[in-house]
Amino acid sequence: MQRFVGQTVMVTGGNKGIGRGIATRFAQEGANVAIAAIDKDTPDAARMIAEATGAKVSGYVLDVTDAAAIKATYGEIESTLGPLSVSVQNAGVITIAKVEDLTEREWDFNLDVNTKGVFLCCQEAIRRFRASGIKGRLVNTASGQARQGFIYTPHYAASKFGVVGLTQSLAKELAREGITVNAICPGIIHTDMWDYNDRVWGQMLGTYGPGELMAEWVEGIPMGRAGTPAEVGALVAFLASADAAYITGQTVNVDGGLIMS
């Protein structure tokens, strides 16, 4: 499919993991793609996606908690790639700690990146959709922990529940303009973040060796396997496409049936 030829798509956290899977899918479907992340290797990741897909892909180093930097980056993207059509707010972080050990700094870090960062990028994208008259698409990455919290991550769960509330609120405000806003809840996906989760939760929950806790979790998935970034990318591409023009304010699980609600 080539649903995004001539469109410009922004993906935050697009240099690795789920974000890279999303960016790659848009590139495969003909979009001009911008990826942004705080990591200095982001331009290198963009070059690799471009080489793999033949698409025009640009990479930007960006802190999604910095409103001024977001404005400047989105401006540069439009100058380089053309008016924005789709913005995917995917950049995210997680830390794990028992409640009595959870620091205020960790709380702020998770909420700032995972919730405020999503809002700030949505806000700038909306301004640009309106300025260009484009009925744009916003897709926000939440988490299975936006459906139900888990031990040792109340701050992370709060940040992702916040993404769902933000998505619904913006969807209602923008619906009459034809701008859709949806969210996704990835479950267990093969990424570096889940390697971190396996290691740290495994240490805190008991005597788990590398990969053992992940394997135990995967056993609880009805489909019997973890997902891939490419499978998440397929969902995001659908929600950003004309095929989903009448879908807004929704939060869609992509988790092999782990959470059915």
Q: Which two tokens stand for residue 129?
A: 């959709």
If you average pLDDT over residues 246-250, what whole number do you get? 98
Report the C-alpha gap between 71 and 53 in whole angstroms: 28
pLDDT beyond 90 at 207: no
Q: Which helix (H) or strand (E) holds 243?
A: none
What's the N-to-C CA distance of the chain in angstroms? Answer: 30
Contact 257, 221 (CB under 8 A): yes
Closest CA to 27 of 41, 47, 43, 44: 47
The tens digit of pLDDT for each residue in 126-168 reads 999 999 999 999 999 999 999 999 999 999 999 999 999 999 9
pLDDT beyond 90 at 101: yes
Closest CA to 180 of 170, 194, 190: 170
- DSSP designation for 1: -
If you average pLDDT over residues 27-47, what whole number do you get? 98
Closest CA to 28 of 61, 2, 67, 62: 2
Residues with a catalytic annotation lie at: 156
pLDDT score, position 1? 84
Report the C-alpha gap between 52 and 46 in whole angstroms: 10
84-89/251-254 β-pairing: unpaired
Closest CA to 198 of 183, 221, 218, 184: 218
By mean pLDDT, which of 44-58, 72-86, 209-223 is the weakest?
A: 209-223
Contact 37, 19 (CB under 8 A): yes
CA distances from 118 to 1, 110, 144, 203 (A): 28, 12, 17, 31
Q: Where are the domains of the chain?
A: 8-190+227-254
Give the CA radius of gyration of the chain. 18
Q: Which two tokens stand for residue 68?
A: 């001024």
If you average pLDDT over residues 173-187, what whole number do you get? 98
CATH of 8-190+227-254, one of 3.40.50.2000, 3.50.30.30, 3.40.50.720, 1.20.120.10: 3.40.50.720
pLDDT score, position 97? 97
